[in-house]
Structure 1
Amino acid sequence: MSHNPESENPDVEPSATQANSDSASNDAALDELEQAIETTAAAREQSLPGDELSAVKADLDQAERRVLMAQAELENFRKRMRREMEDERRFASLPLIKDLLGVVDNLQRAIEAAEQSESGGGLLEGVKMVAGQMESILAKHNCQVIDPLGEE
């Protein structure tokens, strides 16, 4: 059975939808600004009196600055969304890992108890194999063993 964090985590879908909506509105604003620049550039090509020409040039410069700012803002937005989605994917399995940590501790206690018992040879091997599997699964999900309270 495969584990798909996006299908179980309801928070993943809304942020993706929000990202698409925000991206679409940013793209629309960019298109509007680019159209204003083209219109102003077309007006610039026509011969206008001095005052009107300088006013049109000023408008064009201002529109170009707005487009550059909008493009930079859009790029920053996209980077932030990518970063947030990576974080969501990375931490999606955290509740599962927290739940499994108690199981791992109990397996370790069972191994220690079986080692002290003389009749627990077969049980000890089975529990050790299960504990090894559990540790490899946790390691696959970037879960590392830490020393509890400074034990070595």
Structure 2
Amino acid sequence: MAKDSSFDIVSKVDMPEVTNAIQQAQKELSQRFDFKNSKSSINLEGEKIILVSDDDFKLSNVVDILESKLVKRGVSLRALEYGKSQSAAGDTVKQEVKLVQGIAQEKSKLINKALKDSKIKVVSSIQGEEIRISGKNKDDLQAAIALLRKEDFGIELQFINFR
């Protein structure tokens, strides 16, 4: 009897890469002439990045610097969820950027629906913040991965534990 093959779909952020990108962005902020004597900073607090700057224009430049460093380190910008910029102490503006980890329940249901509608012979099950896809034929699993890569669910998907 053939054993079922399976893989997991997750959406995770590589935190060491995020930390490295933030350190590089902080270094660039300290060296750039247009940020001289500015109160701009980038800090990582748990799974949130706190951006602070003098005004909205400089804040948008800080966001650009952060995004460029994250892209260079291989972190997807889809994993960032931007909050509203708000006034902070000392004539500054502050913005929180949340790092999205895991697949939300609504997104999981969309992924399951896409797999069912495609008529590929695989079984999907939601397991917390990840999805397990299993099937008898590895070619069906490959087809499922190709389908999910083609679709846009608004989050970055990684395919792990292919067995």
- Give the TM interval when normalised to the shorter protein: under 0.3
How does the TM-score come out when normalised to structure 1? Answer: 0.25
Query: Which is bigger in relative contact order (C-alpha 8 A, separation at least 6)?
Result: 2
How does the TM-score come out when normalised to structure 2? Answer: 0.24
Q: Which has the higher helix share?
A: 1
